[in-house]
Amino acid sequence: MAVKISMKVNGKAVTAEVEDRTLLVTFIREHLRLTGTHVGCDTAQCGACTVDMDGRAVKSCAFLAMQAEGASITTIEGVAKPDGTLHPMQAAFKENHGLQCGFCTPGMVMNAIDFARGNPNPTEQQIREALDGNLCRCTGYHNIVKSIAAGAKAMAAGK
Amino acid sequence: MNAPLIGARIERKEDYRFLTGAGQYTDDVTLPNQSHAVFVRSPHAHAKIKSIKLDRAKKAPGVLAIYTGEDLSKLGGLPCGWLITDVNGQPMKEPPHPSLAQGKVRYVGDQVAIVIAETEDQARDAAELVEVDYEVLPAVVDGSKARAKGAPQLHDIAPDNTCYVWALGDKAACDAAFAKAAHVTKLEFINNRLIPNAMEPRVANGSYSRADDAYTLYVASQNPHVERLLMTAFVMGLPEHKVRVVAGDVGGGFGSKIYLYAEDVAVTWASRQLGRPVKWTSDRSEAFMSDAHGRDHHTVAELAMDKDGRFLGMRVKTTANVGAYLSTFASCVPTILYATLLAGQYKTPVIHCEVTAVFTNTVPVDAYRGAGRPEATYVVERLVETAAREMKLDPAEIRRRNFITEFPYQTPVALQYDIGNYNATLEAAQKLADVAGFAARKKASQAKGRLRGLGYAAYIEACGIAPSAVAGSLGARAGLFEAGEVRVHPTGSVTVFTGSHSHGQGHETTFAQVVADRLGMPIENVDIVHGDTSKVLFGMGTYGSRSIAVGGTAIVKALDKIVAKGKKIAAHLLEAAEADIEYDRGEFRVKGTDKKKMFGEVAFAAYVPHNYPHDKLEPGLNENAFYDPSNFTFPAGTYVCEVEVDPETGKVTVEKFSAVDDFGKIINPMIVEGQVHGGVTQGIGQAMLEGCRYSDDGQLMTGSYMDYCLPRADDVPSYQVDTRETPCTHNPLGVKGCGEAGAIGAPAAFINALTDALGVKDIPMPATPQVVWNALQKKN
């Protein structure tokens, strides 16, 4: 059954008609063509599809598009400044080599930004626990942990 | 002139697009008039297909076509790229490997039909309606049971499910060495089957243009030219120049994206039948049951020593489970890439290794990060550490006594090591790991009721794969050189085309550092292009830690030609003899004078040749090179792992992991460290967490992240990594490769530490809390 949905994505109002079973991640990737949000599993465990929904990092594969009715969504494409300047968390990943193949990266960054908002000066253990829902096969997490520590500090400093 | 870029920690050029969601992975490519495919896969490990009914499925909404094995019966099977000759001089058994099953399925996940529809959901719905009538047959999944009397037979042409029995080394000399040994250490273990799990699942999107009579395949691949060669020449019988293969941004490979897969063939073939592009995107559940798996060895290994712990000989017998069919490089992994590494870092004078490769009703097994070399290192380093304990020798001391110290060194298992300094990496690792302080830390753990252990692994690997003539003499059906092209633009900036492929390794940065350093220009003026057969002249791709050593050298050879031509142009412009022109990072100078031309000036003259030696030289500045290495490279190092065990729960914590590697010259230390971090984590994953399991009847029990334990951030520590450097002697960069070391050295280091902590001789991988707890109960 087709349903009509409306929401805000990266600050822009979007309205569309989708099949009721359409996942939020499919809506973002296939309908809006925002392909920075990735799909790495089918059991809501890898976190590659993480987006920000109303100020909270969520796995967009675990929502139907129609559950996001009226919500405000930010995807990885909406994180940097309009002039292209990286968000401090993105910059921290770049400076600390917190990514290799880049596939898990958008989800990592979206989760890290949410985490850092509530944890401006996190310990290594807190960061590792906060990454429980995001899998990376390339980095061994070492540099992701460093990136998030640096990114959280930079965010707190208002950079 | 700019500061040297080789050895500099330069932030990666590719990161901006990955960090802003602008990467273009294969699934991000949607073509006009795109259709979508879903595969019907076997739910049985072994069955005859009695009939396939498609009527209901074909009538489902949106369905465009459904094809089965019958439709693809005229295509060739998926080829195996390496011929192993067995102990009797006979070729290995190569059963047909059809892209869609021909009358029989041989593992859970085997492809039976491809369903193509307007949308992926419609294809999925219709696939549910395909009715396959199976006659279920008994299955065998355990490699060590595949040759048992009465075991179910997979292929008519492979009696006893045996692909080959192969051997390397002098058996009689080895037996003689064992006969005079003062002590023999013996171990029997399984090197556990792993599922690679690159975070990007495989994707293939095939299209056909009637206007050009040409195909384009977008595919998540580590080696697009090889993919094209295998698909056109061996499977589809197409002219190679009519097929373009594009592997853009690829989200990790670890070996699993080297191979030509059935799905790639099926979507490419179907795109012509339908006249529409056909895209298949694997979901993770499919990836678990269709991406080539890794490892799966059952091994008995023995080390003979004299009374002082000097190694006299090594004897190894391995059964390698290759799965249901031979994947692209399956046959060389447990042989050429395994037995040849059994000398390790040691002067063991005689080694004999016998490998039996068997077919089972499981996913095909092929190269996974390290490929044969982790299995070899596990054999050697578990034996050495166990021998030290049995002989009451310090595990570092027994290694020192047996280290190879003179180079070049010819091993008894075919390889010749060009250079190394194993004492240097061992000593550095001991310091980095603070081995001296271990006793105090162990005491502190004991006070908390915990057990602490320390283990070493001194690994070696053969990388820079490979000298084509050597590989060919060992059965390779392909060359293993690499190609590169340097295109200098009129204004002096440079685009470099490489046959290597980056899927996380950062070639766009590392290779650009090499080029910018040599040409004396800012790195921003150099771009690296890879992954498209229509742009790159040729390529053998990325695996076996070969990219910088082979692909990087091809680029350097092309740069040498650019410089040679530049000297001729500069000589003309400076009115000097060519022999008097010297070149140093961006400047062509007349020796002994201050007369010079900058690189950009020479490039401009080549493309605006008003004042140019037309009688002797063509205009333009564009060169390519093919490089075939004269030997493998031999990265080596020592890893020290320290674990703490909670005896109440069996939970193991990696407290410290210290890695000292000798990768030869290092271009970008930041990237190299990242490779070690990732490799070590996969190694710890193998040793502590990951293990593919099948039920006896062949159902995959570990088919999702609920069941297959991929390391998470809180399973592993931060690492201490360092390097020592003996430059490779036979390539101009002095580089050896670093991509696989971590996964090669870490499992043995971890298990050596854990067995030390528990005071047991051996423990199986993965050493999960249950395994550890059971081992402790048994011991007490």
Residue B446 pLDDT level (bands cut at 50, 70, 90) = very high
* 8 A C-beta contact, residue B564 and residue B553: no
Across the interface, whether the CB atoms of A76 and B20 are under 8 A apart is answered yes
Q: Which domain holds residue A97?
A: 88-156
Q: Which stretches within B7-134 are classed as H helix?
A: 15-19, 55-59, 120-128
Residue type, A19: E
Cα gap B371→B337, rounded to integer Å: 7
Phi, psi of A62 (to 5 degrees): -105, 10
A92, A144: one domain: yes
Residue B2 pLDDT level (bands cut at 50, 70, 90) = low
pLDDT score at B587: 94
Cα gap B288→A30, rounded to integer Å: 24
> Residue A94: which of B11, B27, B713 has the nearest Cβ?
B11
pLDDT score at B780: 85
Quick one: closest CA in B to A82, which residue? B20
Taking phi over 0 as left and psi of -120 to 50 as alpha, with beta for the rest, A52 belongs to beta
Q: In this prediction, what percent of chain B has a pLDDT beyond 70?
A: 100
The CATH number of the domain where A142 resides is what?
1.10.150.120
- Give B531's contacts in chain A (Cβ within 8 Å): none
Residue B3 pLDDT level (bands cut at 50, 70, 90) = confident
Cα gap B87→B167, rounded to integer Å: 6
Average pLDDT of span B349-354: 98
A51, A104: one domain: no
Across the interface, whether the CB atoms of A124 and B201 are under 8 A apart is answered no
Q: In this prediction, what percent of chain B has a pLDDT beyond 90?
A: 99
* 8 A C-beta contact, residue B453 and residue B657: no
Instruction: List A residues 131-150 in contact with B (Cβ-Cβ < 8 A).
Output: 131-132, 134-146
Q: Using DSSP bridges, classify how beta strands A50-53 and A72-74 pair: parallel, antiparallel or unpaired.
A: antiparallel
Instruction: List B residues 436-495 in contact with A (Cβ-Cβ < 8 A).
Output: none
- Give A131's contacts in chain B (Cβ within 8 Å): 712-714
> Residue B21: which of A77, A137, A140 has the nearest Cβ?
A77
Q: Rounded to a whole number, what is the distance in Å from the CA of B46 to chain A's nearest CA?
A: 26
Cα gap B105→B387, rounded to integer Å: 45
B481-627 topology per CATH: Aldehyde Oxidoreductase; domain 4 (3.30.365)
For chain B, residues classed under CATH 3.90.1170.50 are: 31-137+199-252+257-290
Cα gap B708→B711, rounded to integer Å: 10
Across the interface, whether the CB atoms of A103 and B670 are under 8 A apart is answered no
Give the residue from A43, A76, A101 with the most B CB atoms within 10 Å of its CB, the best one to mutate: A101
B100-146, pLDDT tens digit by residue?
Answer: 999 999 999 999 999 999 999 999 999 999 999 999 999 999 999 99
Cα gap B372→B355, rounded to integer Å: 12
- Cα distances (Å, whole numbers) of residue A107 to A36, A73, B257: 9, 14, 23
B248-296, pLDDT tens digit by residue?
Answer: 999 999 999 999 999 999 999 999 999 999 999 999 999 999 999 999 9
> Residue A19: which of B24, B121, B711 has the nearest Cβ?
B121
Helix (H) or strand (E) holding B384: helix B373-390
- Give B688's contacts in chain A (Cβ within 8 Å): none
Taking phi over 0 as left and psi of -120 to 50 as alpha, with beta for the rest, B202 belongs to beta
A74, A93: one domain: no
Across the interface, whether the CB atoms of B713 and A42 are under 8 A apart is answered no
For chain B, residues classed under CATH 3.30.365.10 are: 297-466+631-779, 481-627
Q: Quickly tell me which residue has 């395909």 as its tokens.
A: B130
Residue A159 pLDDT level (bands cut at 50, 70, 90) = low
Residue type, A79: V
pLDDT score at B585: 83
pLDDT score at B363: 98
Helix (H) or strand (E) holding B268: helix B262-274
Quick one: closest CA in B to A101, which residue? B504
Examine residue A15 and state whether it is found in any structural domain, yes or no.
yes
Say what angle helices A88-95 and A105-118 make with each other, to 10 degrees. Answer: 120
B392-407, pLDDT tens digit by residue?
Answer: 999 999 999 999 999 9
A119-138, pLDDT tens digit by residue?
Answer: 999 999 999 999 999 999 99
- DSSP three-state, residue B446: helix
Report the number of distinct structural domains present in chain A: 2
pLDDT score at B29: 97
Quick one: closest CA in A to B201, which residue? A40
How many Cβ pairs within 8 Å bridge chains A and B? 183
B166-191, pLDDT tens digit by residue?
Answer: 999 999 999 999 999 999 999 999 99
A7, A74: one domain: yes
CA-closest candidate to residue B496, choices B481, B512, B480, B510: B512
A92, A68: one domain: no
Quick one: closest CA in B to A92, which residue? B19
Q: Rounded to a whole number, what is the distance in Å from the CA of B256 to chain A's nearest CA?
A: 13
Across the interface, whether the CB atoms of A93 and B673 are under 8 A apart is answered no
Phi, psi of B365 (to 5 degrees): -105, 135
A16, A62: one domain: yes
A65, A94: one domain: no
Which of A78, A112, A136 terminates a domain? The answer is A78
- Give A84's contacts in chain B (Cβ within 8 Å): 20
A107, A142: one domain: yes
pLDDT above 80 (res A155) = yes
* 8 A C-beta contact, residue B292 and residue B259: yes
Class of domain B297-466+631-779: alpha beta
Give the residue from A137, A144, A146, A148 with the most B CB atoms within 10 Å of its CB, the best one to mutate: A137
Q: Rounded to a whole number, what is the distance in Å from the CA of A6 to chain B's nearest CA?
A: 22
ipTM here? 0.98
B31-137+199-252+257-290 topology per CATH: Aldehyde Oxidoreductase; domain 3 (3.90.1170)
Phi, psi of B611 (to 5 degrees): -115, 95
- Give B254's contacts in chain A (Cβ within 8 Å): 137
Q: Which stretches within B594-724 are classed as H helix?
A: 599-607, 669-684
Cα gap B299→B188, rounded to integer Å: 6
A101, A61: one domain: no
pLDDT above 80 (res A8) = yes
- Cα distances (Å, whole numbers) of residue B37 to B49, B97, B228, B274: 22, 21, 21, 12
> Residue B718: which of A124, A132, A137 has the nearest Cβ?
A124
Which of A36, A57, A78 terminates a domain? The answer is A78
- Give B23's contacts in chain A (Cβ within 8 Å): 36, 102-103
Instruction: List A residues 62-101 in contact with B (Cβ-Cβ < 8 A).
Output: 75-77, 79-80, 84, 86, 90, 93-95, 97, 99-101
Which of A29, A52, A78 terminates a domain? The answer is A78
Give the residue from B11, B12, B20 with the most A CB atoms within 10 Å of its CB, the best one to mutate: B20
Please tell me if residue A113 touches chain B, with a CB cutoff of 8 Å.
Answer: no
Maximum Cα–Cα distance across chain A? 48
> Residue B284: which of A43, A79, A102 has the nearest Cβ?
A43
Give the number of other Cβ atoms within 10 Å of residue A117's Cβ.
14
* 8 A C-beta contact, residue B36 and residue B123: yes
- Cα distances (Å, whole numbers) of residue B115 to B58, B67, B209, B219, B511: 9, 7, 21, 19, 42
Give the residue from A61, A97, A143 with the most B CB atoms within 10 Å of its CB, the best one to mutate: A97
> Residues near B148 by Cβ (< 8 Å), separated by ≥ 6?
none
pLDDT score at B752: 98
Give the number of other Cβ atoms within 10 Å of residue A85's Cβ.
10
B556-615, pLDDT tens digit by residue?
Answer: 999 999 999 999 999 999 999 999 999 998 999 999 999 999 999 999 999 999 999 999
pLDDT above 60 (res A32) = yes
Examine residue A65 and state whether it is found in any structural domain, yes or no.
yes
A74, A92: one domain: no
- Give B197's contacts in chain A (Cβ within 8 Å): 137
Give the residue from A142, A146, A148 with the most B CB atoms within 10 Å of its CB, the best one to mutate: A142
pLDDT above 80 (res B1) = no
A74, A94: one domain: no
Q: Rounded to a whole number, what is the distance in Å from the CA of A98 to chain B's nearest CA?
A: 8
> Residues near B652 by Cβ (< 8 Å), separated by ≥ 6?
B643, B644, B645, B688, B754, B757, B767, B769, B772
CA-closest candidate to residue B82, choices B295, B296, B453, B357: B357
pLDDT score at A87: 98
Across the interface, whether the CB atoms of A128 and B198 are under 8 A apart is answered no
Instruction: List A residues 8-67 in contact with B (Cβ-Cβ < 8 A).
Output: 19, 21, 29-30, 33-43, 45-46, 48
Average pLDDT of span B190-213: 98
B738-778, pLDDT tens digit by residue?
Answer: 999 999 999 999 999 999 999 999 999 999 999 999 999 99
Quick one: closest CA in A to B287, which residue? A41
Examine residue A83 and state whether it is found in any structural domain, yes or no.
no
> Residue B200: which of A79, A103, A143 has the nearest Cβ?
A103
Instruction: List B residues 347-406 in contact with A (Cβ-Cβ < 8 A).
Output: none
B283-298, pLDDT tens digit by residue?
Answer: 999 999 999 999 999 9
A62, A113: one domain: no
The CATH number of the domain where A45 resides is what?
3.10.20.30
pLDDT score at B96: 97
* 8 A C-beta contact, residue B183 and residue B384: no
Across the interface, whether the CB atoms of B27 and A35 are under 8 A apart is answered yes
Across the interface, whether the CB atoms of B199 and A99 are under 8 A apart is answered no
Give the residue from A43, A109, A138 with the most B CB atoms within 10 Å of its CB, the best one to mutate: A138
